[in-house]
Copies of this chain bind each other. A is one copy, B any other.
Amino acid sequence: MDAAGKSLTDYPRPSVAVDVAVLTVEARELSVLVVDGPRGLALPGSFLRPGERLSDAAERALLTKAGLAGADFHQLTMFDAPDRDDRGWVLSMAHGAALPVDGLPRGARLVRIDDRTPDEPLAFDHAHMVSYAVDDLRARYSRHLDPSRLLPDEFTVLELRRLYEAVYGRPLPKDSFRRMVVDALETTGQLRSGGAGRPAEIFRRRVDAELLAGAATLVSD
């Protein structure tokens, strides 16, 4: 890490920014939060302040630009093309986060993530960042049970399956899915008697075994 004999000030330094792709599931569709900026729709972001950590800058950007707090951030990739920002030399660390849609402020602008129309509306290289965020989300959801807590503490297996179908963008078999997740759940004993049909059992996440065993299949196409 050290350029032997060179002082830290020998070279001009880049600006370092963070951008955050906040993913959510709305109406059974994976979506990303965008904000309106001078260059059109963009991911919320900010420049890194002195002594600040990247995740703190990401949190601050989200609070400032979108009015929300409490997400957990995952570093994705640093975008470092020297000409990616016409204002100067700006490196940006892309972050991914995920929040339930009812945790977003009113009037938040969501863009649906179809596998069609992937690279349309976002400024800079932000569409590319979204793609990284989706890959990261899918990888994390295949290893753990709803690690970003897009569902509340208690939920039915159907609600969990609808969530995973949104995350992976494809239908999942009802019976296999249940067997796949049931070991990571514990029942509350309560039932949800909402609509027609037999009431569904209400579960919560098990504190110990958060791991999803055979979710290797979810990873594959």
Report A's interface with B, CB cutoff 8 A: 1-4, 6, 8, 10-19, 37-39, 42-43, 45-54, 75, 77-78, 80-82, 85, 87-93, 124, 126, 216
Summarize A's interface: helix, strand, loop or mixed: loop
Task: Judge whether A1 and B50 touch: CB under 8 Å.
Answer: no
Task: Judge whether B13 and A16 touch: CB under 8 Å.
Answer: yes
Contact pick for A42, options B1, B48, B53, CB 8 Å: B1
Task: Judge whether B88 and A1 touch: CB under 8 Å.
Answer: no
Copies of this chain, whole number: 2
Cα distance, A6 to B87, chains bound together (Å) = 11
Which residues from chain B contact A2 at a C-beta distance below 8 Å?
17, 37-39, 42, 45, 87
Closest to A6 in B: B47
Given contacts A1-B90, A2-B42, A91-B16, contact A8 B53 (CB under 8 A): no
Which residues from chain B contact A216 at a C-beta distance below 8 Å?
216
Cα distance, A126 to B87, chains bound together (Å) = 33
Contact pick for A1, options B6, B14, B43, B77, CB 8 Å: B43
Given contacts A37-B4, A42-B2, A80-B54, contact A15 B17 (CB under 8 A): no
Cα distance, A209 to B5, chains bound together (Å) = 47
